A and B are shown apart, each in its own frame.
Chain A
Amino acid sequence: MPTHETVDQIRTLLETMPKERASLLPALWAVADEMGWIDEERTKAIAEVLNLPVADVFGVASFYALLPTEPARPVRVCDDVMCRLKGSDALIAELRREGIEALASPCLGRCDQAPAALIGKDPLVHADASNIRATVRGEG
């Protein structure tokens, strides 16, 4: 069960949204944007506020790869066809060796500036270990 505090916080966050199923994806994003990530407790709280079955909310939330589920901003590096031509698989390996948990992502739609990465919500093009490191560490 989510705490009253969490439910209240999310109720306030979703105040202007119609309490219906169609608000689910915007609600998930609102929680991710404002609170940083969506964990199990927050997922349950969203279900409660929108009056939806918890299982449905989990089913939808888990379908999408981009919703952050942990406090750390995810570092995604494209390992799709065009970025691999520019060495993105080696880049991912290098980052992992350095302890940066790089997630492999399908095409990020920036193949013209490969390799492409996405740090949190921010795109990074012509990515390499040093500009990714700077972005990740620069924000503390």
Chain B
Amino acid sequence: MREHRLLPHAESASAPASYARLVERGFERALQNAASLDPADIRRQVSEAGIMGRGGAAFPTGRKWDSVADAPGTPKYVVMNADESEPGTFKDRVLLEKDPFGALVGLIIAARAVGASHAYVYIRGEYQDVEAVVREAIQTLEERGYLGAHLSCEIRRGAGAYIAGEETALFNSIEGKRPEPRVKPPFPTVHGLFGRPTLIQNVETLANVAVLMAHDVAWFREQGTEKTPGTKLVALSGHIRRPGVYEVPFGVALKDLIYDPELGGGIPDGRALKAVLLGGAAGTFVTPEEVSEVQYDYGPLRQLGASIGSGAIMVFDETVPIQTVVRQLAHFFADESCGQCVPCRIGTRRLVELLSDDEAFSDHERLKDLGRAMQDASICGLGQTAPMALLSLMDRPTLLSTGRSAN
């Protein structure tokens, strides 16, 4: 069930940022393959492979590449989003640590496919150990001529702001402004970094491009489902025997992710599962029954009102009062809201206040109204999705029953 496309086999002896690794992983072949193709052919293959964004929104990657390629204006930019600050999410860290070339090679191929001459890697300031590995890998690529005058590549270090991971906030951060999201449209594909056409992708999305180009579309689609080909990195944490990052094909049973001895390994200390929060702080809580039934893929999860999001899988055992978790999430959003739009600035604080007593959880109408106002009127995804996890509890009253206390 565990796959090794994006994550190299544990026994790989070469250093993660060495030239030997670039060759061993087939990424030099991927670069040469892409160099021999027409940019339009690369984009077609990315579309045919069915790659969707792995940063949370699952937007079709090839379509985004076409928009950037077609957009007028130069220079064009490509950006790797390695800001990874969604609570419960750490798959980009592990991927960059273990195999920095995947995402970087994907970035180089993306630049060729859309006609970009400048690349940025935006990596959160809490990951300076990872940044060092990425820096070394960039150097290797420069020495081999894959980066250089034709394509510059600069690392930008974030400095502790969750909102900076939102794509337009990230552009502002690189431009030396406050990392506050911009109103969309215009979209980054036409008006992005420094006002130029810009392609921004998540680390894992780019790594998928690299493995695709090292093989072909048919190979890529051998894993996963018809609608969602390929593999996914998931980050398992909380009350789980084997926390960590695992690579699995889309469509795997969620219960296998949690209980398979090669994956999560089940709930420790003889306790029962209470709930799983899928997709990060703005994710959806699912019940043990839902866990035992659903496949980990966009379609089946959508039927539960859930999504894969960032790939975070946060596991809570029966001792956890979910109200407490929701309160912490509300605090997180109130702290991290950039404050420039009212529905989010006020709404996130209002949520914190409302949730201060347990009674409020039963006032569904009030919570739904507030949630709807935030979803409809916030500028960016933070405000729009901040009430999601809370609202997911409205349909799952069993999760609000009092937890068994830990002894």
Interchain CB contact under 8 A, B162 and A106: yes
Q: Does B366 contact A (CB under 8 A)?
A: no
A137 to chain B, nearest CB (A): 22
Interface centre among A59, A81, A82, A118 (most CB of B within 10 A): A81
| B30-38, B124-132, B216-224, B299-307 - the one binding chain A | B124-132
- Cβ-defined partner of B160 (8 Å) among A22, A66, A85, A110: A66
Given contacts A64-B160, A64-B161, A123-B129, contact A107 B88 (CB under 8 A): yes
Interface segment out of the listed B133-141, B173-181, B396-404: B173-181
> Of all chain A residues, which has the CB nearest B327?
A81
Counting residue pairs across A and B whose Cβ atoms lie within 8 Å, the total is: 116
Classify chain A: how many residues form its interface, as a range. 35 or more
Interface membership of A1, Cβ < 8 A:
no
- Tell me whether B332 and A106 are in contact (CB under 8 A): yes
Bound state CA distance, A66 and B206, in angstroms? Answer: 27
Once bound together, how far apart are the Cα atoms of A118 and B130, in whole Å?
Answer: 14
B174 interface neighbour in A25, A107, A122, Cβ under 8 Å: A25
Bound Cα distance A20, B175 (Å): 9
The answer to whether B85 and A29 have CB atoms under 8 Å apart is: no
Cβ of B328: which chain A residues have Cβ within 8 Å of it? Answer: 80-81, 84
A109 to B194, CA, bound (A): 29
Q: Contact: B235 with A121, CB < 8 Å?
A: no
Q: Which B235-255 residues have a C-beta within 8 angstroms of A?
A: 235-239, 243-245
Q: A23, B239: Cβ atoms under 8 Å?
A: no
A20 to B162, CA, bound (A): 25
* CB-CB contacts below 8 Å: B322-347 with A: 325, 328-329, 332, 335-336
Say if the beta carbon of B367 comes within 8 Å of chain A: no
- Residue from the list B160, B174, B237, B245 in contact with A82, Cβ < 8 A: B237
User: Is the beta-carbon distance between B314 and A82 smaller than 8 angstroms?
Assistant: yes
Asked whether any CB of chain B lies closer than 8 Å to the CB of A60, the reply is yes
Which size bracket describes the interface of B in this complex?
Answer: 35 or more
Contact of A118 among B126, B178, B235, B332 (CB under 8 A): B126
Residues B87 and A107 in contact, CB atoms below 8 Å apart = yes
Q: Which residue of A lies closest to B92 (CB)?
A: A109
Interface contact B160-A81, CB-CB below 8 Å: no
- With beta carbons under 8 angstroms apart, the residue of B237, B277, B335 that contacts A112 is B237
User: Within the assembled complex, what's the spacing in Å between the Cα atoms of A106 and B86?
Assistant: 9
With contacts A81-B325, A110-B93, A111-B90 taken as known, whether A65 is within 8 angstroms of B176 at the C-beta atoms is no
B89 near A21: Cβ-Cβ < 8 Å: no
Q: For residues 52 through 90 of chain A, which have their beta carbon under 8 Å from a beta carbon of chain B?
A: 52, 59-60, 63-67, 80-82, 84-85
B159 within 8 A of A: yes
Q: Are B176 and A25 in contact (CB under 8 A)?
A: yes
Nearest CB in chain A to that of B277: its residue:
A81
> Given A106-B336, A111-B235, does the pair A60, B90 have CB atoms closer than 8 Å?
no
**A89 → chain B closest CB, angstroms:** 10
CA of A140 to CA of B87 in the docked complex: distance in angstroms? 33
Cβ contact within 8 Å between A25 and B173: yes
A107 to B178 alpha-carbon distance, docked (Å): 21
- Is A63 a contact of B86 with CB atoms below 8 Å? no
Contact mask for chain B residues 286-299; partner A; CB cutoff 8 A; 1 contact, 0 none: 00000000000000
CB pair B179 A63 closer than 8 Å:
yes
CB within 8 A of B86: which of A26, A85, A107, A123? A107
A10 on interface, CB distance cutoff 8 Å: no
List residues of B (155-192) whose CB comes within 8 Å of A's CBs. 156-162, 173-179
A interface vs B, CB < 8 Å?
20-26, 28-29, 52, 59-60, 63-67, 80-82, 84-85, 106-114, 118, 121-123
Given contacts A25-B159, A64-B160, 7 further A-B contacts (CB under 8 A): A25-B174, A81-B88, A85-B316, A107-B86, A107-B332, A110-B90, A112-B243
Binding site for A on B (CB under 8 A): 84-90, 93, 124-129, 156-162, 173-179, 194, 235-239, 243-245, 277, 281, 314, 316, 320, 325, 328-329, 332, 335-336
A selection of 12 A-B contacts at a CB cut-off of 8 Å is A20-B176, A26-B157, A52-B176, A63-B179, A64-B160, A66-B125, A66-B160, A107-B88, A107-B332, A109-B126, A111-B88, A123-B126
Closest CB pairs A-B (n = 4): A66-B160, A24-B176, A64-B159, A65-B160
